[in-house]
Chain A
């Protein structure tokens, strides 16, 4: 099955600086990579996703890059703000057989933005 590794597990940045979170995956057939933000005690919320037919996608201060050859993808947050503080999860979709696709999540990165 799919295996997703995420680094770092914790990240502290000064307000206004950039934050980068990196993930690797094992299944070369994976073709969809969403990123979720989870605030303490809240539900995971999709912030951006990328499909394997593109190498980069940007939405305001958030961007995601994908390198299919190396099987890694990254989340970039620019001009960080205190409200960006949360746990961020990367995930990869893979086909599990019998017509089913599964999302496999990384272990998360706790981002702290220091005012």
Chain B
């Protein structure tokens, strides 16, 4: 079946511009996660959605970052006034939500969006 998809695959923008990154989770997956991966590092948690609501946005670095998931499926990560330090690969992951699993559901990752801020 179709996996997690992300668009665009690459995005080049200028400092100060606004960007939107899209994530299409696996159909039926209620949980959706955004991560940021810098070169040579592991993915770092940004935000978690359970359905339509952001259940945990504690990983967002500052108020320039915002994410939405209005219908509980597709999610958009929005970055305002981009800075060169925002350059990274932004990964999306999705999983089923099992109330009995205690968070131990397998997360499936998308291919990422490589963001370069000039």
Given contacts A98-B55, A105-B42, A105-B43, contact A93 B108 (CB under 8 A): no
Q: Are B103 and A32 in contact (CB under 8 A)?
A: yes
Number of interface residues of A (CB under 8 A): 29
Give the complex CA separation of A93 and B104 in angstroms: 7
Q: Which of A32, A100, A101, A108 contacts B42 (CB 8 A)?
A: A108
Chain B interface, DSSP helix/strand/loop, else mixed: loop
With an 8 Å Cβ cutoff, the count of chain B residues facing the other chain is 25
* Chain A at the B interface: SS class: strand
Interface core residue of B42, B107, B109, B111 (most chain A CB under 10 Å): B42
The stretch of A14-22, A45-53, A70-78 in contact with B is A45-53
Asked whether, in the complex, the Cβ of B106 is within 8 Å of the Cβ of A101, the reply is no
Q: Which residues of B contact A (CB under 8 A)?
A: 4, 33, 40-45, 48, 50, 55-56, 58-59, 91, 102-104, 106-112
Residues of chain A having any CB pair with chain B under 8 Å: 4, 6, 31-32, 34, 36, 42-46, 49, 51, 89, 91, 93, 95-96, 98-108
